[in-house]
Amino acid sequence: MTSTADTAAKVDPIEASVLHRRLKSITEEMGLTLLRTTRSPILNEARDFVTGLYDAQGQMLEQTEYIPVLAFALQPACEHIVQFFGDDIHEGDVILHNDVFSGGNQNNDVAVFRPVFRGGKLAAWAACKGHQADIGGAQAGGYNPEAREVWQEALRITPIKVHEAGKLRRDVWRMIFANIRYRIVEEDIKAQIGATRVGERGMQDLFRRFDAGRFDACIAYLFAAAERIVRREITAIADGVYRGESWAFYDGVNDGSRMKINLAVTVAADEVTFDFTGSSPQTPGFVNAPYAATASALLLTFLMLINPDVPHNAGLLRAIRIVNPEGSFLNARFPAATTFGNSITGPISDAIFRAFAQALPKMVSAGWNRMMGFTVTGHDPRHARPYVDILFLSLKGGSGATWNADGYNHIGLINCAGGILAQDYEMFEIHDPHRLVRHEYAVDSAGAGRWRGGLGVETEFVIEGENVTGIAFGDGVEEDARAFGLFGGKSGSINAIKIGYPDGVTMSPKSKAIIRNIPRGAVFRQWAGGGGGYGDPHERDEELVLADVLDGVLSVDAARNDYGVAIDPTSLVLDPSATKLLRSRP
């Protein structure tokens, strides 16, 4: 019997490379379909989705993650669907899924799967997953800090066929969308179904060009190549156990609560184990993650530390082991509320960076700004219709600095790593009954360092909707939650939200809260914090410090106090002698 390794060894590497690029391009074509046909700005502007192709067993052939946190969001669900339906899968079937207790990562992230057949036999899957504007549950928009169980968060969609053998199941379709508030979601799911059709056509074209034997051999070769790259990267890390910890703040129920992420990373030869044993137990609120969300957070962070050219297929997982005991807030038991799970990516990444700072000091970054989200739902009087907005515009803070590079400004969450785009200003005002007043870099928000953190932003707009509810979900408002500095670098600024009411009252919501009956004319202001700095701030080039002062993103006082750089406040000219004196002080 010929082994997989033997088969892969006989493959023409150029032919395998051509197949790899074609698989990648199919997933990108699926993504372009979603960008052109979806209606929600969450999808067509913010690009909160992933597209992928999988083999008959649900293993990843190739993916394109338009935001990195979805790196592991489809394969577990695809494998579950294969097991669930068994032989009851037919050409023309379309299956929906979002259930976090059977491979899903977040309730609002709804996946569409389409089987692809070759000669009457199941050969592959085309799939995509996107964040929906609503998914039922007690709170419009899907984020419910008051939830104590999954049914208060969302409509659970366990694997269900909405098309069977090419025919729409109208009864099932109507039942699902009768439990979702916004018609736009139905249209976006239709767009996702269309994207899987594009994937199916692409795969069938490949099947005409590659017979089954050649195709399977090339896939085995590509899996082995991805595995080999990852193992080589792991081998370059010194063997040992590296420990890191981090904290998430406020479970939405108990004031002052803190949830610990306890991580031990064991590197042994060409394999790595991430062990979360000892992390805090699951919370009574929605600050919990399902297994898939934690695995995605881990993978996206680890992929930032190794060769970025590793193919995104099932082979990259073979050298990575995850220990994540059920019952912790990183792998919550049914029927826990878990909508905040994707947002725990920030604290998870912090723990991983802290651990690998010991082994890969020039690869890790300082802390990224924690997410502080604020969803607004209400009625738009201009068009007499409901609206919802996650406000990606205002939550994008700065990334952490790294060796030889400042952090990225206004990049957003590490789980999105630049994938989530800020809304276009005009589209923001067209989509929402909001009038944008200010959106600019926040002064003194970046953590000081030889390489400074990325800048956060300040956003201000006037709410002109009716029956408006705001939902705060995040952290970073606590002093301890600032984006941390590394190797002498300083922390970034904290997050903050203030709502000014027309009667002159100003309120600051908790980091997890529902604020009901926000009146028309209220002014919303948000400060998204900056990233952490890397290295001693006194080693930063004086001209770079001056440039930030001239750009208006660093104050003269901060230049002096944090960097030891003296700049005349009137002329904004560098004072070399005073700077030398400041930097010579211990």
At residue 349, the pLDDT reads 94
Give the per-residue pLDDT at 419: 61
- The DSSP bridge pattern shows strands 271-275 and 320-323 to be parallel
**C-alpha pair distances (Å), 109 with each of 175, 179, 417, 583:** 19, 16, 18, 51
Pairing of the two strands 496-500 and 466-474: unpaired
* Neighbouring C-beta atoms of residue 371, cutoff 10 Å: 27
- Rounded CA-CA distance 369/367 in Å is 7
Q: What is the pTM of this model?
A: 0.93
Strand order in the sheet with 258-268: 240-249, 258-268, 271-275, 320-323
Cβ-contact 159, 102 below 8 angstroms: yes
3-state DSSP helix/strand/coil % of the chain, to nearest 5: 35, 25, 40
How far apart are the C-alpha atoms of 89 and 492, rounded to whole Å? 51
* Predicted local confidence at residue 46, as pLDDT: 84
Residue 209 burial by Cβ neighbours in a 10 Å radius (0-12, 13-18, 19+): exposed
Token pair of 458, please? 């300040």
How buried is residue 368: exposed, middle or buried, by Cβ count under 10 Å (0-12/13-18/19+)? buried
For tokens 């785009």, name the residue.
421
> In the chain, which residues have pLDDT < 50?
1-5
Going from N- to C-terminal start, the domains of the chain cover 4-228, 365-540
